[in-house]
Structure formats: C-alpha cells, structure tokens
Amino acid sequence: MTRYNEKTMTEIFVSADNIVSPIGLTTAENFLNLKQNVSGINLHPASSMSDVPFQAALFADGSFASNDQQHKYTKFENLLIASISKALSKSAVEASDKKTILIISSTKGNVNLLETEEASASLNKRISLYTSGKMVADHFHFANQPVIISNACISGILAILTGMRLIQSGQYEHAVVAGADVISKFVLSGFQSFQAVSPLPCKPFDIARDGINLGEAAGTIVLSSNKLHSNGVKVNGGSVSNDANHISGPSRTGEELSAAINKAIYASRISAKDIGFISAHGTATLFNDEMEARAISLSGLQDVPVNSLKGYYGHTLGAAGIIESIISMQSLQENLVMPTRGFENSGVSQKINVCSSLYKTTTDHFLKTASGFGGCNAAMIFSKQ
C-alpha cells in the first residue's frame, strides 16, 4: 500500500467555530450546558407541524424568523448567518479573501416553503440550496461562489472533508464550513412515515431505543492552512464509503463504515490505539446503532469510549456532523468525553464502550462518524495540534 507523503501533506488547522442551538448561541454556552446535562429536547404538543405530540430540540417560536424589512432571509438562512458571523468574529480569516471558500451543508434547506407558498418557477428557485448559499455568501461578501454539500446525514462531515481537500489541493488557503437545518412538517412527517420517531427522549445504543428525536441548529468551523490561525486543533484525515445496500436501511454488517474508519485512521498517519474517544452518529434507531457498533468492533475500537450527542440536540441533519465535531473538539481540549444521554443498558450485539457519564481522559485524537440514507458513511479524525 502506498504511504502518504508527510512532507507534502498540507496540515489543516481549525481557526474558529460556533454552534447556535436551542441550548446555546455560542460554542462555550453549548459546551457548558452539556457538562451540566442540559438537553434541548422537549415534548411539543400536536400542532400544524404534527398531528400527535413529538419530542424534538426546537428554537422558541419566532427565533431566527425573517426580521429584516424585506423579509429577505428565511429562518434557515438566518441560522447560517448567525453562526458564520460568530465564527468569523473569532478568526483572522477574511470572507472577502480570494483564497477563502464558503461550504454549506444541509439536507433540507428551505423545503418548508413548500408548505406555505404557491407552486411556481420562482419558488423552485427559492428553495434551491444554491440560492440560499449564494445569498449567505453575498451577505458576507465572500469572493468566491459557495460550494453546497447535501448528502443525507453525512453532509456535515463531508463538508469538512471537502474543505480540507480543497485547501490541500492548493485552490484555497481557508474554508468556512457551515451547516444548518430547520424542522418543519415536511421534515418531521417524513421520519414519522418511517416510524422512526420516538415518542420519548431518544436512547442511543440502549436496549430500549425506539427511534430518533429531531433537532434544529447551525454550526460553523473555519479551517485554514495557516498555522498562525490555529485554535489548537487540526483536521487530520477523513474518508467516505457507501453500503450499496438499501435506500434507507444501513448495512447489516458494518463493513462499509468500518472501511471508512480504517481509511480515515490511515490518512491521519496514526493507529487505532491512538484514538481516545469516538463521537458516533448514534441516532437511537434499531438498525443504525447496531450497524455502528459492528463497524466500531470490526475496526478494533470496541474498548474506546463512545458517545452520541443526539440525546442533547436531537438529530440536526445537515448540521449534525459539524456541531458534534465542534463539541468533540472542545472535549479534546478539556480532556472530557460527554456522556450519551438516555443510555442505560446496551442494546447492540457487539461490545462497545458507551459513555453513560462524564468521562475524564487524556488523548490527542478522536474519531467522528456519520451514516445516512442511501447507505452513505463518513469518518474523520481530529487531533490536538
């Protein structure tokens, strides 16, 4: 097997980040609330969004709604703008620099407009993810056209990986990677039709797990090849794979996610024993958690502490990979691993080390995984500088 040439591999540093979620408007607020076991998931009564009560992590009514006189931006776009603004304010990276690229990750974007607007050619254009991306890019005066990543629930990790590769290609020196999704009747009813939504707070990897809770949030990570911009963490390597198994059901063996994990470890020039903890996708569905457990075990990581943050944020779709990576970067720097809220007794066939309480550790590397509809998988290694 060909070895990576360490002399020519461009290092990718994290310059700044931000999370906007129902439990905090900054990364610091989010991390503090997680340490205090605060969850954004609440029971919401039956409404125009759902015929039955449902558990979800939602912003208060009216939050991030159109607030400019022209109602130019939607809630989805306002979320992106809020998160990107806070991240850029903490970084020396300039949006107007020709060497800076904006990458936006989302699974649904403005699809909720289908519920309120008349069908038309202008609506088709308005709900396009690229339309939103261009509006957000213009708001910050980005010099380049934005890149849109929408690949089910691996979108956030894939967006970070895309930013890393674009910088390493020499086309750019910096990448602003932002992801967001909002929950609407369209989104919720889709998961309800799969009977994948739990009526109770979700329980990742638990024997009593019975489905997901949805959530809305936005996250931003600013990447740079300039070490002077670093906040102490770097993106080491990543990989994607596909099960080629089923449009909605994941692999039954976990071999394909395991392959992505192994390639991410190899690309990072470390070994499995160097990984201090795993931030899993952990949706709390029967099939996803079982597949992830199999993949983790196949990769020889069954003893490594594992967590899922879905019990705090719900499944935030296109934002999930980004906000969960940001929380894990904070964990890396503070030598803490967040617990898996809702987990009590293991309900997967393979032995894995699920964290059920706040865990102190000292490590230089963590693994982030994600999987999604269509059989897509992603894995990424983050490391202390």
The structural domains of the chain, ordered by start, are: 12-229 (3.40.47.10), 233-384 (3.40.47.10)
Judged by DSSP in three states, 290 sits in: helix
What's the pLDDT at 67? 62
What's the pLDDT at 251? 87
Per-residue pLDDT band for 287 (boundaries 50, 70, 90) equals: very high
Residue 135: pLDDT above 60?
yes
Specify the DSSP class assigned to residue 199: S
Report the candidate in 266, 341, 336, 272 with the shortest Cα–Cα distance to residue 302: 272
pLDDT tens, residue by residue, 207-244 = 999 999 999 999 999 999 999 999 999 999 999 999 98
At 257, phi and psi to the nearest 5? -65, -40
CA dist., res. 116 & res. 185, Å (int): 11
Question: What does the radius of gyration of the chain's CA atoms come to, in whole angstroms?
Answer: 19
pTM recorded for the entire structure: 0.96
Phi-psi region of 249 (alpha: psi -120 to 50; beta: other; left: phi over 0): beta
pLDDT tens, residue by residue, 70-121 = 569 999 999 999 999 999 999 999 999 999 999 999 999 999 999 999 999 9
CA dist., res. 19 & res. 308, Å (int): 17
What is the average pLDDT across 181-193? Answer: 96
| Helix spans in the chain (H) | 27-35, 75-89, 121-126, 129-139, 155-168, 185-193, 255-267, 286-298, 310-313, 320-334
Residue by residue, DSSP assigns 179-195 as EEE---HHHHHHHHHTT
CA dist., res. 101 & res. 15, Å (int): 14
Residue type, 21: S
Torsion of CA 142, 148, 153, 156, to 10 degrees: -30
Report the candidate in 163, 17, 148 with the shortest Cα–Cα distance to residue 76: 148
Residue 152: C-alpha distances to residues 61, 105, 378 (Å): 26, 10, 11
Lowest mean pLDDT among 193-197, 291-295, 319-323: 193-197
Q: What is the mean pLDDT of the chain?
A: 95
Q: What angle do CA 226, 232, 237 make, to 5 degrees?
A: 75
Retrieve residue 161's tokens. 């990986």
What's the pLDDT at 248? 83
Judged by DSSP in three states, 143 sits in: coil
Residue 5: pLDDT above 70?
no
Phi-psi region of 244 (alpha: psi -120 to 50; beta: other; left: phi over 0): left
Residue given tokens 């993949």 in the structure block: 295
Per-residue pLDDT band for 7 (boundaries 50, 70, 90) equals: very low
Residue 134: pLDDT above 60?
yes
Residue 2: pLDDT above 60?
no
Report the candidate in 297, 186, 214, 178 with the shortest Cα–Cα distance to residue 43: 214
List of residues 6+ apart from 168 with CB closer than 8 A: 9, 10, 12, 225
Report the candidate in 108, 125, 221 with the shortest Cα–Cα distance to residue 174: 221
Judged by DSSP in three states, 68 sits in: coil
What's the pLDDT at 236? 95
Helix H or strand E segment including 274 = none
Report the candidate in 179, 160, 307, 297 with the shortest Cα–Cα distance to residue 234: 160
Per-residue pLDDT band for 1 (boundaries 50, 70, 90) equals: very low
